[in-house]
Structure 1
Amino acid sequence: MRHRLMLYSCVLLALISFKSQAETIEVVTEDSLYAYLRDEKLVGPGIRIASETLKQAGLSDHHMALYPWARAYEMALHEPNVLIFPLDRTPAREQLFKWVGEIHRSTSRLYKLRGGERITVGSLEEAKQYSIGVVRNDAKQVYLQGRGFSRLVVSANNHDNFQKLLNRQVQLVPMPENTARLMSQDAQVDFEALEEVYALDEQPHRVYLAFSLSTPDETVAKAQRAFEALKASGEVARIMKEER
């Protein structure tokens, strides 16, 4: 009887483990240059890279969706089988996620509206005197808060943040140039209406695909191998060079 119970327990644990690893992977992201809706379809270079990675890894059971960044981040922080991008790999986040691979690298710049008030920033310290728009749970918010910035105005996403700059509710916003160009395009504003006042070279963006910490190691390992093969073939760089 005892041996039978032990056998049942082993079978039950195996079934639970199998179910956990077979669950649908939720791919979460925000509306950005990496992912966006076109003709009611989710597209973009990040979507293509994530899809191809999961396909090559044999992880075909997945669902992709756009969320406000704060919600996507919370899902990846607390739920199993969640793949998130574009996630900046920072020291503070290193132990919070299981990292799959780097899809892009860029530098953020502080932008103001051209022709408005005089704003001069010669160092990161000098930028503290200005109101700066950031996105909740974004690496730039964490970075600036950690360096003592107290005049941060938090938005749910890049679009709201950018609109606050246009409405002069904030004086500066930090964004990579390609994101600033995309936000200008979406807001139907000439990119030349923006003026770069400082480059945040101290914090280069290392943009990754990453799994939630409670995702099974086997799932993560499959995705890591598939991504490395994709990157080695030059496909990741080729996809990222394509314009929206």
Structure 2
Amino acid sequence: MMRPIAWIAVSLGLLGAVAHAGPLRVVTEETAYSYLQAGKVSGPATEVVEATLQRAGLDDYQIGLYPWARAYDMALQEPGVLIYLIARTSEREALFRWVGEIMRIDYHFYRLRERDDIEVPDLEAAKAYRVGVLRDDVRHQYLQANGFKKIVVTAHNSDNFKRLLNGQVDLVPMPEQDMLAQCKEAGLDPNEVERTLTLGDSTQLYMAFSLQTDDATVLRTQAAFETLQADGTLARLMGGSH
């Protein structure tokens, strides 16, 4: 039996012809799952997005790597924009048209191992330290909502991690794979960085369209993503890492 979105898409004839006029703009940031390689945006999450669009028959698209705040603003304000990997939160629920969950991750506070003066037994204790975050990222919003005042904002993951290394911030919240990728890029032994605290529950990371994107394009993409989940393609593609 077809799942509901796929059934709607087929019944409306949406899978027979390309719905969107003009190229879709696909936007993301640099992470362990989406990164620039040989001049092309690559990575497991990027492969999922491309496979979804290909299966949806939406071949006219351009993928761009941006600072998160810029990518987020484009998806918030402009039509025909697909953003990934974006955390699905209650605050964002009505701001985007959600396609599908690509993965779930946990964010952890990390400190330099040599900084044994930093003790973070709970979230409240972390408020005493300078915390590096990406502008408008879900971690930025989460910490603000929880009363953090010593927030140091940057545009890129790499800049944020460098601030940890040179002592400009005391803690950075990152998923483990991003931390490992940043250590590799910096030529640093990952054992020099220590996890101190996990932030809240696992975060669902999605691909999502801007609100102004036409219904047909959204339905086609949702239906295609469901088939990727059902046949195991999603799990296979996300089995790799940077």
The alignment's TM-score, normalised by the length of structure 1, stands at 0.89
Give the structure 1 partner of residue 126 of structure 2.
Answer: 127
Alignment match, 1:9: none
Structure 2 residue 239 is the aligned partner of structure 1 residue 241: yes
Q: What does residue range 1-244 of structure 1 map to in structure 2 within 5 Å?
A: 21-200=20-199, 202-244=200-242
Whole-angstrom CA distance in 2 between matches of 1:172 and 1:159: 14
Q: Matched residue of 1:125: which SS?
A: helix
Give the AA of the match of 1:74: D
Residue 154 of structure 1, CA deviation:
0.3
User: Sequence identity of aligned pairs in percent?
Assistant: 47
CA distance in 2, matches of 1:140, 1:127: 13
State the Cα distance separating 1:77 from its structure 2 match. 0.5
Which residue does the alignment assign to 1:11? Answer: none
SS at match of 1:148: coil
Which sections of structure 2, spanning at least 5 residues, go unmatched?
1-17
Secondary structure, in 3 states, of the residue corresponding to 1:91? coil
CA distance in 1, matches of 2:34, 2:103: 13
Q: Secondary structure of 1:53's partner?
A: helix
Name the SS of the counterpart of 2:238 in structure 1.
helix
Structure 2 SS opposite 1:119: coil
CA distance in structure 2 between the aligned counterparts of 1:243 and 1:139, rounded to whole angstroms: 22
Q: Which moved more, 1:38-47 or 1:149-158?
A: 38-47
Do the aligned partners of 2:52 and 2:221 also contact (CA within 8 Å) in 1? yes
Letter in structure 1 aligned against 2:155? A
CA offset at residue 118 of structure 1? 1.3
In the other structure, the counterpart of 1:6 is none
Superposition deviation, residue 234 in structure 1: 1.1
| Shift of residue 225, structure 1, vs aligned partner | 0.5
2:216 counterpart SS class: helix
Q: CA deviation at 1:42?
A: 2.0
Q: Cα distance, 1:155 vs. partner?
A: 0.4
SS at match of 1:80: coil
The one-letter amino acid of 1:238's match is: R
Tell whether the 8 Å contact from 2:19 to 2:216 is kept in structure 1 after alignment.
no
Deviation by residue 1:44-101 (Cα, 9 ceiling, x = unmatched): 1111111110111111111111111111111001000000011000111100000000
Please name the residue that 1:13 is paired with. none
- Deviation, 1:122, is 1.4
Quote how far apart the aligned CAs of 1:178 are. 0.8
Q: Deviations over 1:202-244 (max 9, x none)?
A: 2421110000011011111100000010011111111111122
Q: Partners of 1:122 and 1:116 in 2: how far apart?
A: 15
After superposition, the Cα gap between the structure-2 partners of 1:126 and 1:95, relative to the gap in structure 1 and judged at 3 Å, is: same
Deviation at 1:32, TM superposition (A): 1.2
RMSD: 1.5
Q: Which digits, 9 at most, give the CA deviation of each residue in 1:24-45, with x for residues without a partner? A: 1000011111211222222111
TM-score calculated relative to the size of structure 2: 0.90
Tell me how far apart the structure 2 counterparts of residues 21 and 105 of structure 1 sit (CA, whole Å): 29
Letter in 2 for 1:115: E
In the aligned structure 2, how far is the partner of 1:140 from the partner of 1:51?
Answer: 26
CA distance in 2, matches of 1:146, 1:58: 40
Q: Distance in 2 between matches of 1:20 and 1:47?
A: 22
Alpha-carbon offset, residue 21 of structure 1: 3.1
Worse-superposed segment, 141-150 or 31-40: 31-40
Asked if structure 1 preserves the Cα contact closer than 8 Å seen for 2:56 and 2:224, the reply is yes
Structure (1 or 2) with the greater helix fraction: 1
The CA distance in 2 between the partners of 1:41 and 1:70, in whole Å, is: 21
Q: Confirm or deny: 8 A CA contact 2:33 2:241 kept in the other structure.
A: no
Count of matched residue pairs: 226
